Amino acid sequence: MKPLFWIAIAVIAYVYVGYPLLLAAWARLRPRSVRRKPLGPDAPGASIVIAARNEAHRLPARVTNLLAQDYPGPIDIIVVSDGSTDATRDALAPFGHRVRLVDIPASGKPSALNAGVAAAAHEILVFADARQAFAPDAVRRLVENFADPAVGAVTGELLLDCEADAAMPASTVGDSVGAYWRYEKWLRRRESAVWSTLGATGAIYAMRRTLWRPLPSPALLDDVLAPMRVVLAGARVVFDERAKAYDRVEADAGAERRRKVRTLAGNIQILGLEPALINPFANRVWLQYVSHKLGRLVVPYAMALALITNVAIVPADILYVAALVAQIGFYGLAGYGAWLARQEHGDEADQSGRTDRLRVRHDERSGGGGTSRGAAAPARLAVRQ
């Protein structure tokens, strides 16, 4: 049991301590720069692709944000409506020819991105989501990296509101997401300096059209699969934190848990879609991929093994007693954090419900004291929408 315990501890320690230290030393000793070039009037054209389903409420602000980009070359914006049943077409109508709308049956994001790329007119593909906003120079900063012929794709930096706005009220979910995201970006900077990142931020990344391969419709993580295909083609995927997008943390522990499960499932799925990733002769960033992506998949099993074997050998030595206490304390704190997050979400829902009821009462009073219960229902529906 003792060897199994120490193997499990070694795996966990390598993934979260050993690999980051190795990566930091590697990036410092053997950094690879990117030969960026400021853009002029001859800047390459960029096609911005957004996959959207029922995003009519967000698209006008999003398109306005993209049209305001400080980019010297031609830009076209393609919005792919993935089976939308809302007023997406009406929301985009005021923009006229400046936005191209592609309607497809509900097929999922990978199919929507494939349709958007097929409709794109330019050599650089920029991928964005409907929810976030770009900094005014985001596209310019992304495209500057393609002056280096070794670069095949670029990911920008997604700034969450818990990072960008220190005045925001604290949130357990927001704090945990922010800490995780800062750690991920720390790794991404150094992986980029060594050679290539192991994926992109779906809200802001770009790639050469010549390196695009249509995505399989079941793909869960397009922003990992597409960039890793660029790496397998022999090109770099670099991280440029000058290219910024902004987003809000969804303060919902359930949504964050679903996101993590989807990420875990997507990383497993990619092994089936691109088995060459685990071939050290085909994947130039094999060590980073195994340490970062595959290591994360193995850690939950290593943690379970460490706990089970620790319980079995705990009488052997005071060291194992201390290790068991530490593990129980860790899981206890994790459980307490999850409980706090659920409480916060419940409090927010209760507050939202109280606000709705107050507004409905105000509407009833404004309409006169004889307002019927049937007349109040539409007001309540309007408030909740």
User: Does residue 8 contact residue 319 with C-beta atoms inside 8 Å?
Assistant: no
Domain boundaries, position 85: 32-284
Each residue's pLDDT tens digit, 337-366: 667 766 665 655 455 445 445 444 444 454
Does residue 376 surpass a pLDDT of 50? no
pLDDT of amino acid 340: 72
In percent, how much of the chain has pLDDT > 90?
70
pLDDT of amino acid 176: 54
Mean per-residue pLDDT for 65-82? 98
More reliable by pLDDT, 377 or 147: 147
**Residue tagged 């690999």 (tokens):** 19
Each residue's pLDDT tens digit, 298-337: 999 999 999 999 998 887 688 888 888 888 887 787 777 6
Name the DSSP class of 83.
Answer: S
Helix (H) or strand (E) holding 107: none
Q: What are the distances in angstroms from CA 311 to CA 2, 7, 50, 195, 335?
A: 11, 15, 51, 42, 20
> How sure is the predictor about 253, in pLDDT bands with cuts at 50, 70 and 90?
low
pLDDT of amino acid 169: 46
Closest CA to 154 of 63, 247, 46: 46
27 assigned to some structural domain: no
Q: What is the CATH number of the domain that holds 267?
A: 3.90.550.10
132 assigned to some structural domain: yes
Least confident segment among 51-60, 293-302, 318-327: 318-327
pLDDT of amino acid 344: 61
Give 381's contacts (C-beta < 8 A, 6+ positions apart): none
| 40-50 per-residue burial string, b: 16 or more CB within 10 A, e: under 16 | eeebebbbbbb
326 assigned to some structural domain: no
Number of domains in the chain: 1
375 assigned to some structural domain: no
Mean per-residue pLDDT for 145-159? 97
Closest CA to 245 of 188, 202, 203: 203
Does residue 2 surpass a pLDDT of 50? yes
Query: What are 247's strand-pairing partners?
Result: 160
Q: CB count, 10 Å around CB of 357?
A: 12
Q: What are the distances in angstroms from CA 180 to CA 74, 161, 176, 324, 366?
A: 36, 14, 6, 25, 47
pLDDT of amino acid 55: 98
Q: Is 11 helix (H, G, I), strand (E, B) or coil?
A: helix
How many residues make up the chain in this entry? 385
Closest CA to 59 of 131, 137, 113: 131
Tokens at residue 135, please? 């900094």
Average pLDDT score, the chain: 86
pLDDT of amino acid 299: 94
User: Does residue 116 contact residue 49 with C-beta atoms inside 8 Å?
Assistant: yes
323 assigned to some structural domain: no
> How sure is the predictor about 370, in pLDDT bands with cuts at 50, 70 and 90?
very low
How far is Cα 156 from Cα 138, in angstroms, rounded to an integer?
8
Does residue 78 surpass a pLDDT of 60? yes
pLDDT of amino acid 338: 66
User: Does residue 333 contact residue 349 with C-beta atoms inside 8 Å?
Assistant: no
Query: Strand 133-134 and strand 46-52: pairing?
Result: unpaired
Name the DSSP class of 15.
Answer: I
10 assigned to some structural domain: no
